[in-house]
Amino acid sequence: MKIVITYGTFDLFHVGHLNILKRAKALGDYLIVGLSTDEFNRDAKSKYTVISYEDRKEILESLKFVDLVIPEENWEQKVKDIQEYKVDTFVMGHDWDGKFDELKEYCEVVYLPRTEAISSSDLKKHIASTPHKRFERTETV
Ligand code: C2G
């Protein structure tokens, strides 16, 4: 069984998140998601999540592509996770291209194309400025 792992915040879940999880799962048989805790987001990523860790976890666990969700509490846990879960492939969107190449010592490292023109921060800006207008992914924000 080929085990794949990816990490992220997955706040305000959107199609960019769905696509990376779908593509990651397509690389193996079992997908683990390291989900950034609210504290890790705040303290290490300067991200203030709209949706709580518990609710973000429940959303991910309900997806057919996701087999296991574990907390991501720090930047350093990836090697331990890869060893503990016998991970074959580590996947991230290509906005992280090259940033995790040190993990090549432990497993395959794959950077996949991001979905264009959508991010949780884009959605927050859009909702704040034009709450009654549909967010169109073609628009540049
Ligand atoms: N993503 C994507 N397309 C988008 C938005 C996000 O493919 N339009 C991908 C990102 O590249 C990442 C994953 O979705 O692989 C999760 O994105 P975020 O929730 O923004 O997570 P991030 O802040 O990148 O945290 O240790 C790694 C970090 O936890 C990653």
**pLDDT single digits (tens) 53-91:** 999 999 999 999 999 999 999 999 999 999 999 999 999
**pLDDT single digits (tens) 88-113:** 999 999 999 999 999 999 999 999 99
The residue nearest atom 21 of ligand 1, judged by CA position, is: 8
Q: Assign 141 a pLDDT band (cuts: 50, 70, 90).
A: very low
d(CA 107, CA 7): 15
Distance 7 CA to ligand 1 centre (A): 7
Q: Tell me what pLDDT residue 58 has.
A: 98
Atom of ligand 1 nearest to the CA of 19: 7
**Is there a catalytic annotation at residue 47?**
yes
Of 95, 99, 115, 119, the one to substitute when testing ligand 1's pocket (max ligand atoms within 8 A of C-beta) is 95
